[in-house]
A and B are shown apart, each in its own frame.
Chain A
């Protein structure tokens, strides 16, 4: 249950069978093809460009049909539909023979014609609408537009004037050109539409006046009748065109039954394009082509079997992946924990030689999600909804896994809800006695206990993470590393925690029980010992120590006395320093008086070691150990981070409780259950039902919906930041076989 083993396959094959061979390979989906072109400078297999080009063209045509038809679909309403894409079921045979089934070129031409006509119609309609808009302000003008022509002496103007300058314009016109006449056709807040008669000889003086007040001239050369009649005519035309458009749309709708076929065709063409494109990864000789790829060990035999048919033309070699290679990752877990792979994939695939963290995070995530949601009612709803969607909707594997993960979360939430007595946040007094008996902790009454429980969970998971790091090291044959790094850390962690707990109990509890006293001192001693362990093992002090000891012997053997003497002094100085530090720690943690000279000894030996160059190396590893001791403080943050479970767990329950409280207050205040059968009672009952539905809405949308984001994100974060940081480094790539990959199709037998 972990990262699946893969093998590397080399295939050399004759050109003659290329097409059928590749087709079969694609259908089997066993092989992830490696790009040989990057590795070898050999001549690469030429992709048949002509064929690819024509396929691409077909593909874009099919795409066009698809997009065109999409415009006429009934829009699916609702959040659910936009979140989850439905898929079509198709048999293998239908898929293969789709090209024969539909006359694709005919459909394309039909769609193209429809599209062209529709755009044309829409443009016409828009044009007509725009001219109607232009005419609309003039509707009160009773003149025929064709008749608005200047006579020999009199000019006539239609114009638009900013309403603000109307009166000023009128006045000035009156004063300067009393003979001209101005008629206001329509006055709107912004613009005023006017008709102006004038004698032609004054035009040159009139023009600047018009410019001054911002009069815009308007003319309607294409219209003859009065504006009202013209508008009616236009509206008639628009209606006619709209009807035509409706007809075309109906025609297009008639084509909708082809949607499934079109999608199948699209996917089919796509798979053929993929088959051609994969060839660019191959190397070639005159007679043969060569490809390289990864195959899952479990598919090895199937692959061999498939090749048997071609035993004359194809040569297959399978090899274990080399040390420096990075094979692709295929996660293999039992179906029960498969949904939790969602989290692993989210963070990043493991390296080929690493543990798959999925089974280890699964129980924790399950529990944490349960604590965060922590309500039977919500849990039941969530489980049912997700289960239903995962089973009924045709969704991709990834989405299905995600849905099942949430369904699991719902189950966890039911369990936690029963144990904490939370049913839609109902107040405890409404719960029947047998449910109350199942409760082991009432969170609101025992907040401190709850808090300590979450911290305990943190300690457990963090320790588990460190153990996994050790396991990982041992698996990779680094036994000493597991001891040096992880074992010391975990011992230190437990010693520190027990000391801290005991110390806190002593401070907080007024009368300390004697057993606390009795184990405090050993625990403190253990803490001291593990601290030394961290300092010396994490810094690899002893390794260096013995190394330099060995060096010393070498030098003496070779009779390089000068060097040897230096080493010896360095050795003595640093040993002095080390032992004085150890001595200091030991005396400190056993509560005896520290010898006053010990501090001086540390200082002097430190200075000596620092000043004497050859001994600095040991000093460095000592300080790097010290630094890693300081680094242990991050575990405080890591463990305290688990307290968030408490906050999130309370949040759902409290909000639900507050919502219920509103209902309760309503019943109490109106007291309508006393007079339920009177008219007033019915009115209040109706009000109550409205309130109830609002409350239920809030329960579902606000509390459950918003809560779910938190209930997923925070437990996930605890896995990623607090748990994974102990042992897990991603860096693997997903196993992506050369196969028929369809976005919208599901194959059935």
Chain B
């Protein structure tokens, strides 16, 4: 384990964590939005008036990408990666930062994909009755809970790593 951690410097571990969070969220959001955008495209082809009501539904799986991005920003801000104090980061702390980023990296990726699938299921509601658009929006939003929780977990973990640094 020791040698595994020492394979990278602290700075690199921290970068890897931030990047992983951003990549995971981004991949998930991209796939999720692709799913629902496809169906929305079909619906709008037949009924252009549905563009407005469909738009929020298409946007919903996009938040996970933002959470990943936030994580990356938090890592850079908390550990001064931008200010040039990055290379001075101890290896162990860097590794801790990496671990702290994992909830977002995995959870946001998976939840965004499944949120896309759920949105696909909710889209026909809008196709059939526009006035139900709000209800169609709530169902996929239930999936998002777990992305939000993982972001909170990551933030708390990052805070505790920072507190541990003194």
Inter-chain CA distance A655–B22, complex, in Å, is 13
Flag B109-128 by CB within 8 Å of A: 1 or 0 each: 00000000000000000000
Instruction: Tell me if B11 counts as interface (CB < 8 A to partner A).
Output: no
Instruction: Tell me if B39 counts as interface (CB < 8 A to partner A).
Output: no
Considering the complex, which residues of chain B in the window 13-39 have a beta carbon less than 8 Å from any beta carbon of chain A? none
Inter-chain CA distance A655–B77, complex, in Å, is 12
B155 touches A650 (CB 8 A): yes
B142 touches A658 (CB 8 A): no
In the complex, how many angstroms separate the beta carbon of A646 from the nearest chain B beta carbon?
6
Inter-chain CA distance A56–B135, complex, in Å, is 34
Given A710-B63, A717-B141, A647 and B73 touching (CB < 8 A)?
no
**Nearest opposing residue in chain B for A665, CB measure:** B82
Cβ-defined partner of A644 (8 Å) among B51, B55, B59, B145: B145
A82 touches B60 (CB 8 A): no
Inter-chain CA distance A239–B24, complex, in Å, is 56
Instruction: Tell me if A598 counts as interface (CB < 8 A to partner B).
Output: no
Given A654-B74, A717-B138, A647 and B148 touching (CB < 8 A)?
yes
Instruction: Tell me if B99 counts as interface (CB < 8 A to partner A).
Output: no
Flag A260-277 by CB within 8 Å of B: 1 or 0 each: 000000000000000000
Inter-chain CA distance A651–B73, complex, in Å, is 10
Given A657-B73, A661-B82, A717-B138, A647 and B59 touching (CB < 8 A)?
no
**Nearest opposing residue in chain B for A716, CB measure:** B138
In the complex, how many angstroms separate the beta carbon of A433 from the nearest chain B beta carbon?
23
Instruction: Tell me if B149 counts as interface (CB < 8 A to partner A).
Output: yes
Inter-chain CA distance A713–B56, complex, in Å, is 9
Residues of B within 8 A of A661 (CB): 82
Instruction: Tell me if B161 counts as interface (CB < 8 A to partner A).
Output: no
Flag B69-81 by CB within 8 Å of A: 1 or 0 each: 1100110010000
In the complex, how many angstroms separate the beta carbon of A707 from the nearest chain B beta carbon?
8
Given A651-B67, A661-B82, A717-B138, A709 and B60 touching (CB < 8 A)?
yes
Flag A692-718 by CB within 8 Å of B: 1 or 0 each: 000000000000011001101110110
Instruction: Tell me if A683 counts as interface (CB < 8 A to partner B).
Output: no
Instruction: Tell me if B137 counts as interface (CB < 8 A to partner A).
Output: yes
Instruction: Tell me if A607 counts as interface (CB < 8 A to partner B).
Output: no
Considering the complex, which residues of chain A in the window 45-104 have a beta carbon less than 8 Å from any beta carbon of chain B? 82-84
Residues of A within 8 A of B73 (CB): 654-655, 657-658
Residues of B within 8 A of A644 (CB): 145, 148-149, 152
Instruction: Tell me if B62 counts as interface (CB < 8 A to partner A).
Output: yes
**Nearest opposing residue in chain B for A81, CB measure:** B52
Inter-chain CA distance A643–B51, complex, in Å, is 32
Considering the complex, which residues of chain A in the window 633-647 have a beta carbon less than 8 Å from any beta carbon of chain B? 641, 643-644, 646-647
Inter-chain CA distance A646–B60, complex, in Å, is 18
**Nearest opposing residue in chain B for A702, CB measure:** B66
In the complex, how many angstroms separate the beta carbon of B150 from the nearest chain A beta carbon?
9
Cβ-defined partner of B137 (8 Å) among A641, A657, A713: A713
Inter-chain CA distance A346–B131, complex, in Å, is 8
Instruction: Tell me if A687 counts as interface (CB < 8 A to partner B).
Output: no
Residues of A within 8 A of B101 (CB): none
Q: How many residues of A contact B (CB 8 A)?
A: 35
Cβ-defined partner of B155 (8 Å) among A447, A657, A710, A720: A447
Inter-chain CA distance A346–B107, complex, in Å, is 29
Interface of A, helix, strand, loop or mixed by DSSP: helix
Cβ-defined partner of A713 (8 Å) among B60, B151, B155, B156: B60
Inter-chain CA distance A710–B70, complex, in Å, is 15
B69 touches A647 (CB 8 A): no
A721 touches B142 (CB 8 A): yes
Considering the complex, which residues of chain A in the window 652-672 have a beta carbon less than 8 Å from any beta carbon of chain B? 654-655, 657-658, 661, 665
Instruction: Tell me if A25 counts as interface (CB < 8 A to partner B).
Output: no
Best-surrounded residue of A641, A658, A709, A712 (most CB of chain B within 10 A): A709
Residues of B within 8 A of A347 (CB): 134-135
Inter-chain CA distance A646–B62, complex, in Å, is 18
Given A644-B145, A646-B152, A648-B148, A658 and B59 touching (CB < 8 A)?
no
In the complex, how many angstroms separate the beta carbon of B41 from the nearest chain A beta carbon?
15
Flag B129-166 by CB within 8 Å of A: 1 or 0 each: 00000110110011011001101100110010000000
Residues of A within 8 A of B144 (CB): 713-714
Inter-chain CA distance A295–B59, complex, in Å, is 42
Cβ-defined partner of A651 (8 Å) among B56, B66, B137, B149: B66
In the complex, how many angstroms separate the beta carbon of B84 from the nearest chain A beta carbon?
12
Inter-chain CA distance A346–B132, complex, in Å, is 7
Inter-chain CA distance A447–B161, complex, in Å, is 14
**Nearest opposing residue in chain B for A661, CB measure:** B82
A714 touches B141 (CB 8 A): yes
Residues of B within 8 A of A648 (CB): 148
A647 touches B60 (CB 8 A): no
Residues of B within 8 A of A646 (CB): 152, 155
B69 touches A658 (CB 8 A): yes
Inter-chain CA distance A705–B63, complex, in Å, is 11
In the complex, how many angstroms separate the beta carbon of A32 from the nearest chain B beta carbon?
18
In the complex, how many angstroms separate the beta carbon of B44 from the nearest chain A beta carbon?
10
Best-surrounded residue of B69, B70, B135 (most CB of chain A within 10 A): B70
A655 touches B137 (CB 8 A): no
A706 touches B142 (CB 8 A): no
Cβ-defined partner of A706 (8 Å) among B63, B74, B138, B156: B63
Residues of A within 8 A of B70 (CB): 650-651, 654-655
A713 touches B138 (CB 8 A): yes
Inter-chain CA distance A60–B42, complex, in Å, is 27
Inter-chain CA distance A260–B21, complex, in Å, is 55
In the complex, how many angstroms separate the beta carbon of B166 from the nearest chain A beta carbon?
16
Inter-chain CA distance A685–B60, complex, in Å, is 37
B74 touches A720 (CB 8 A): no
Best-surrounded residue of A346, A647, A650 (most CB of chain B within 10 A): A647
Inter-chain CA distance A165–B144, complex, in Å, is 59
Residues of B within 8 A of A342 (CB): 134
B63 touches A643 (CB 8 A): no
B59 touches A709 (CB 8 A): yes
Considering the complex, which residues of chain A in the window 690-749 have a beta carbon less than 8 Å from any beta carbon of chain B? 705-706, 709-710, 712-714, 716-717, 720-721
Residues of B within 8 A of A720 (CB): 138
Considering the complex, which residues of chain B in the window 87-114 have a beta carbon less than 8 Å from any beta carbon of chain A? none
Inter-chain CA distance A713–B62, complex, in Å, is 13
Given A447-B155, A709-B59, A83 and B142 touching (CB < 8 A)?
no
In the complex, how many angstroms separate the beta carbon of A699 from the nearest chain B beta carbon?
14
In the complex, how many angstroms separate the beta carbon of B155 from the nearest chain A beta carbon?
7
Residues of B within 8 A of A84 (CB): 52
Inter-chain CA distance A712–B144, complex, in Å, is 13
Flag A330-373 by CB within 8 Å of B: 1 or 0 each: 00000000000010011100000000000000000000000000
Given A651-B70, A658-B69, A706-B63, A713 and B82 touching (CB < 8 A)?
no
Cβ-defined partner of B66 (8 Å) among A83, A345, A451, A655: A655
In the complex, how many angstroms separate the beta carbon of A656 from the nearest chain B beta carbon?
10
Residues of A within 8 A of B138 (CB): 346, 713, 716-717, 720
Residues of A within 8 A of B148 (CB): 643-644, 647-648, 714
Given A346-B135, A644-B148, A655 and B69 touching (CB < 8 A)?
yes
The 9 closest A-B pairs by CB, nearest first: A346-B134, A83-B52, A644-B148, A713-B141, A658-B73, A647-B148, A647-B151, A709-B59, A654-B70
Q: List 19 A-B contacts (CB under 8 A).
A: A82-B51, A83-B51, A84-B52, A347-B135, A447-B156, A451-B152, A646-B152, A646-B155, A647-B148, A655-B69, A657-B77, A709-B59, A709-B60, A713-B60, A713-B137, A714-B141, A716-B141, A717-B141, A720-B138
Residues of chain A touching chain B, judged by Cβ–Cβ distance below 8 Å, are: 82-84, 342, 345-347, 447-448, 451, 641, 643-644, 646-648, 650-651, 654-655, 657-658, 661, 665, 705-706, 709-710, 712-714, 716-717, 720-721
Beyond the given A83-B52, A665-B82, please list 14 additional residue pairs across the A-B interface where CB-CB is below 8 A. A346-B135, A347-B134, A451-B152, A644-B149, A646-B152, A646-B155, A647-B155, A651-B70, A654-B70, A654-B74, A657-B73, A709-B56, A709-B60, A713-B138
